[in-house]
Structure 1
């Protein structure tokens, strides 16, 4: 969700060329940008990256590649509808208050199916940042057999006053500073990405958004990560996940704001790689035998 990215002009490393897939969902069809990163090989777990509210494939920079190499995972990175090079949000189209439920329950299953990923036979891991973390939690609560595990960094389970204040500041910055031109480096239509996110989070009805009731349904191994200097949320977010979810560890990072993958990438990669290693991923053939 963060609007705090302040990239320099030369800090975007080389990344694989984007691919595109058409995804039919919720009565619409979107052209979705994606890339595969990391090592290849049958039997390696798949780690799907769900970006923040202003993220995209390129906004991640080289973090997915670094993490997948450290964890021995295949990685799938994509830009949700409205972001990056994916189909932009239509002018004047406003997202509903439950947009993250739409993304988790409608779009994400359709996207994975469009790529031929059989989540029933070979459940992936999900790495979600901010809004992406919330989407990952909603998905895991509703499709517990279709996810191997979660890593959620700076996720939201309810709306805090400090979050709204920071988003109001982001709105002011988008209008009065160079934030729009910086975001244009990561989105074909920066207005699509920014106002889609900003408008819904500042909708008064969104103050009642809350997914705490879903958390007891999250049964997979979960690592909840947050920076102690997060400007968009307090530790109540990941502490709430740890209390409610069945198998949750927490990681609280010093000298770290809302984007742990940017502020503490080495520590984060090491912790996530260790967490995934402690929860081994069975081969697809083994899963089939277990379920038979």
Structure 2
């Protein structure tokens, strides 16, 4: 169907059958794409801890328009329109996305090569996917990704946990996650604030990322200092570009969309 917010972009909804439940996905493609551009490697978006396809809003469609590529986003199991999960995620849930879920998404949506773009914890998942599938990942783009549980990160999550004691806040989350909203919140707060999660780090994973990397972060990000994109750039094995965005907080693609789209487009154009 035609995307109403972004003229010239066609969107299509998909359902992915996973042994643990159905996963919802949506793809966006330029309507005037040539046969050659339709075969371009798609950009796969990995959402943040409270996110889902709908919360990307118009960014995937605008990303598709700006780059001329297909963009794909999916709701992780337990989020958005995807089926509910029964228990809390294991503490290795960031790595688990690359082993237990993303391979089935790739298989059922029919793509092998990909460009990974992840926001916040989705950036960590994108890093794991780039490291796990080095032959197929053409590029990695992280946005506000955390490399380890920094004090600033944990303090902001603890503040958010207190704020969500207000049922109005849960109601806003339920708009996107339905009756899974409480699970979504606790999957975030109780995982990151768990004492055993303190040792989690992407530092051992990043040297396995051999593709070109673009690491984006807002200078005022309340969930992490600039040490995170700097570590991503320094520890990745391939060529890297780190961009710290002025007047920007934790959600650059919403707070500063024009700059993000330009940086991503220029980065991907340089790969061609």
TM-score (norm 2): 0.91
Q: Say if 1:64 and 1:17 are closer, same or farther in 2 by CA, change over 3 A.
A: same
Q: Number of residue pairs matched?
A: 259
* Partner in structure 1 of residue 265 of structure 2: 273
Matched, 1:84 2:80: yes
Check conservation: 2:12, 2:27, Cα contact below 8 A: no
Q: How many angstroms does 1:242 deviate by?
A: 1.1
Equivalent positions of 1:26-65 (< 5 A) are 29-39=20-30, 40=33, 41=35, 42-65=38-61
Q: How many angstroms does 1:16 deviate by?
A: 4.7
Q: Which has the higher contact order (CA 8 A, sep 6+)?
A: 1
Q: Say if 1:16 and 1:192 are closer, same or farther in 2 by CA, change over 3 A.
A: farther
Check conservation: 1:89, 1:193, Cα contact below 8 A: no
Matched, 1:192 2:183: yes
- The runs of 5 or more residues in structure 1 that have no matched partner are 1-11, 281-292
Matched, 1:23 2:18: yes
Matched, 1:105 2:94: no
* Partner in structure 2 of residue 161 of structure 1: 151
Q: How many angstroms does 1:143 deviate by?
A: 1.5
* Deviation readout 1:166-204 (Å, 9 max, x if unpaired): 111111111125221111121122112111121111111
* Deviation readout 1:70-111 (Å, 9 max, x if unpaired): 011101111001100101122xx1211111111112211122
Q: How many angstroms does 1:17 deviate by?
A: 6.4
Partner of 1:186, secondary structure, is helix
Partners in 2 of 1:105 and 1:48 — Cα distance?
A: 16
Partners in 2 of 1:255 and 1:177 — Cα distance?
A: 31
Partner of 2:135, secondary structure, is helix
Q: How many angstroms does 1:116 deviate by?
A: 2.4
Matched, 1:220 2:220: no
Matched, 1:242 2:267: no
Q: How many angstroms does 1:13 deviate by?
A: 5.8
Q: Say if 1:163 and 1:36 are closer, same or farther in 2 by CA, change over 3 A.
A: same
Check conservation: 2:11, 2:29, Cα contact below 8 A: no
Q: How many angstroms does 1:19 deviate by?
A: 2.9
Q: How many angstroms does 1:18 deviate by?
A: 3.7
* Deviation readout 1:219-245 (Å, 9 max, x if unpaired): 101100000010000011010111111
* Partner in structure 1 of residue 136 of structure 2: 146
Structure 1 residue corresponding to 2:110, chosen from 116, 119, 135: 116
Structure 1 residue corresponding to 2:245, chosen from 253, 278, 290: 253
Structure 2 residue corresponding to 1:127, chosen from 117, 128, 140: 117
Partners in 2 of 1:238 and 1:85 — Cα distance?
A: 31
Check conservation: 2:142, 2:216, Cα contact below 8 A: yes
Q: CA RMSD in A?
A: 1.7
